[in-house]
Structure 1
Amino acid sequence: MKKVAFPIVALVLTFAFFACKNETKSETEALPEDLAVAEASEETSPEYLYVTASSGLTLRQHNNLNSEKLAVMPYGTKVKIISEEKETTMTVGGIKGGMHEVEYNQHSGYAFNGYLSRFFPPDEDMKPKAYAEALKEQFPKVSFSETTGGTASNPSNTASLLLPTTQWHEAFYIAKQLFEIPTEFAFPEPKGSNEEVVKETKPKSGVWTSQLLVNRENDQLEKIIYSYRTEGFRYTVTISQEGDAMKLERTDVAD
Structure 2
Amino acid sequence: MTLSTPLSRLALVATIFLTLISTALAGDRALLNAIGYSEDGRYFAFEEFGVQDGSGFAYSNIYLIDIAEDKWVEGSPYRVRSEEEMTPLHVIRAQAASQAFADLEAYGIVTPADMIAFQADGEPEIDETRIAFNVPGFMGPAPRDQMYEIALDIFKAPSTEPCVDYMGQEPMGFAVNLTDLDGNTDRIYEDGHIPKSRGCPITYRPSAVFMPFQSYSLDHAVLLVSVWAHGFEGPDRRFIVVPL
TM (norm. structure 1) is: 0.26
- Normalised by the length of structure 2, the TM-score is 0.27
Bigger Rg, which one: 1
Structure with more relative contact order (C-alpha pairs < 8 Å, separation 6 or more) = 2
Kindly indicate which of the two structures has a greater share of residues assigned to helix: 1
